[in-house]
Amino acid sequence: MLGLQYAGMVLRHWKQWRPKAYKEMQKDGTLQEFAQSLSKQAATQVASLMAAGLQKHEAEEMVMPDILWPPED
């Protein structure tokens, strides 16, 4: 599916660095939908930045902080 290439990255990141939120979303059944939503947003932003002239890796470096949130306390 288009735009879901970052979903696995989101899930791995959240499982390691945001385990409380990960477990809570997993418990209430929203984790997969959440990861897919973030992935689609990221893919759209990356595509937009690439259309503006950035290389893929440059665009991803700008977008990833938006989906790979800081670790939990």
pLDDT digits (tens, 9 = 90+) for 12-60: 999 999 999 999 999 999 999 999 999 999 999 999 999 999 999 999 9
pLDDT at 18: 92
For 43, the token pair is 């893919």
60 within some domain: yes
**Domain count for the chain:** 1
40 within some domain: yes
Q: What share of the chain is helix, strand, coil (3-state, %, to 5)?
A: 75, 0, 25
d(CA 38, CA 4): 9
Classify 3 in phi/psi space as left (phi over 0), alpha (psi -120 to 50) or beta.
Answer: left
User: Is the pLDDT at 61 greater than 80, yes or no?
Assistant: yes
73 within some domain: no
- Rounded to two decimals, what is the model's pTM? 0.81
2 within some domain: no
21 within some domain: yes
1 within some domain: no
By residue range, what is the domain housing residue 47?
7-67
For 39, the token pair is 């992935």
